[in-house]
Amino acid sequence: MRILNVMKLMAPVAALVLVACANAPGVSMASISGPAADAPVAAEDAHSQGYGDYLAGRLAATQHDMRDAAKFYQASLDDDPDNPQLLERAFLYTASAGDLDKAADYAKRVVELEKDNRAARLVLAITDIRHGDYSGARKQLAQSAGGPFTSLTISLLDAWASVGAGNSAAALDDLAKLKDQGGTDALAAYHRALIFDLEGKSDAEAAYRDALAAAGASPRIVDAYGRFLERAGRADEAKKLYDQLNSKNSLHPLAAEAGARIAAGQKPDRLIQTPGEGAAEALFGIAASLTDATSADVAILYLRMALYLQPDFDLAKILLADRFEALEKWQDAIDTYRSFDKSSPYYRIAAIQGATDETKVGKTDDAIATLTELTSAHPDDIDAWTALGDVWRSEEHYQEAADAYDHAIRLLSSVDKKDWPLFFARGVSEERSHHWDAAERDLKQALKLNPDEPQVLNYLGYSWIDQGRNYPQAIAMLEKARTLKPFDGYIVDSVGWAYFRLGRYQDAVKTLEDAVLLVPADPTINDHLGDAYWKVGRRLDAQFQWNHALAFNPSADQKAKIEQKLRSGLQ
């Protein structure tokens, strides 16, 4: 049976990046840079070192290895410095790798060849904002080619550059233009509120309320408006606002930090304290809206620019790591999570998720060390104990996993439906540790909390069938699980095995054949189908299926049993 990752069910990192932003269209690198980014690169000598670097860069780019793509395209460009396609690729991937200063040098060369190149003008504007040249940034943005997605970015960045240049009227005009793009009411209201707030204008409160009305309790809006209320001496109102976030486990750090601040009577800074931070907020908001796989590279580019403007923007780091995870660039995600300062309210969440990702690249010992240190320093951190249990369970150290889940469950102030994964995970760990009575209690508790969860129905029902107990109840649970999740081959296998144990061999054959079609390379499912074939007299098919099971690396114990069946059949 598959292992459940409890952390992904209980506290997804994605909950941290809910923002009030437009639903931007799916985009690719080409949509912000122009067609040259995807154009083939000609080479006079296919055997040159430069062409080899180009091919390596192209491979790295297809695998979303930004640093390697930048390195190889830069090397290829050095070999062929007048090639415009190589220049643009070197520029784009250098920016995406996070080296914005070097990317700006390339961008200056790009705009000499293509005056209105979107990405180049954007990077040049960002570097101007970073260095306080707001008028220069506006000039760069004014020379960029248009387009729906680009216009959204330009309007927001020009608004903040205008604020920096002392032209608030131009900033508000930029935000007003967003209405023409549709679906941007919350985004415009939010940035209007941030600008009014930064300038100390009373209009900020109405704009914050407009943003809340349009977007709901978005963490960024709540954080910004709550800080506004605190500074105005309205801490009680701010606390009520923060309480909307406190109920969400992954957003607890934000609410906890605000609660501690209010209790201490401290006045917070504004969420946005400079025009540069406002521009970073705009880039972050757009990146957060780019959730489809085709726009992941663009989201990473925007987040790199946001962090260039505001290096301590922790939520941007969280989102950047999340985008790397979506691309299965685990080491990049780990490096990002490990960049958090221990003073950050998000340090623990980042450390936990970084440890979870370390297990995906074989660094389990590092993950366990991190989580053990974290639980020692913060013994009341449910997420850390849960993650530690997940790691131990993935390593088949089931007793250690059960102990970690024990700690997490004892920290629950109350038990409700959302806690079923914890009881399920501990039940699985106890069952694998041969503590069936404790396992059964936890599995029943998980099912009580969530009666329609297919994984729990399957695990408990399969266990009962395997033990020769509670057949009527078990088969009903398994058939219900299959109805809820008809294309899960493991659940279908459980139903087929239940039919086998009940002597319903023809039903078992039909159901297990369906399971093998859904999960062709699982040794247990193939073994079960072989048993069913034997019982209906299809001996050659049974032997074929058992041989199939052997080919899929069964456990040592299972392998010995299958080999015995191949020698003497099913006894």
Tokens found for residue 541: 């098919």
User: In the prediction, which pLDDT does 248 show?
Assistant: 61
**Could you read off the pLDDT of 207-238 as tens digits, one per residue?**
999 999 988 878 889 999 999 999 999 999 99
**φ, ψ for residue 270 (rounded to 5)?**
-65, 150
pLDDT in the model for residue 249: 55
pLDDT of residue 341: 92
pLDDT tens-digit series, residues 141-168: 999 998 767 889 999 999 999 999 999 9
Going along the chain from its start, the domains and CATH numbers come out as 336-451 (1.25.40.10), 454-571 (1.25.40.10)
CA distance 149 to 159: 16
In terms of phi and psi (left: phi > 0; alpha: psi -120 to 50; beta: otherwise), the region of 132 is left
Angle, nearest 10°, between helix axes 235-246 and 219-231?
A: 160
Reported confidence tier of residue 348, pLDDT bands at 50, 70, 90: very high
Give the tens place of pLDDT for each residue, 65-79: 999 999 999 999 999
pTM of the prediction?
A: 0.84
pLDDT at 156: 96
pLDDT beyond 70 at 529: yes
Residue 48: the pLDDT is: 60
Tokens representing 142 are 């004014």
pLDDT at 429 over 60: yes
Task: Please tell me the least confidently modeled range out of 240-244, 313-317, 536-540.
Answer: 240-244
Residue-wise pLDDT tens digits, 19-46: 333 334 344 455 555 444 445 555 444 4
Instruction: Assess whether pLDDT exceeds 80 at residue 329.
Output: yes
CA dist., res. 25 & res. 14, Å (int): 19
Distances (CA, A) of 282 to 153, 161, 384: 8, 12, 32
Instruction: Identify the pLDDT of residue 151.
Output: 87
- Weakest-pLDDT range from 21-25, 99-103, 292-296: 21-25
Angle at 221 between CA 220 and CA 224, to 5 degrees: 85
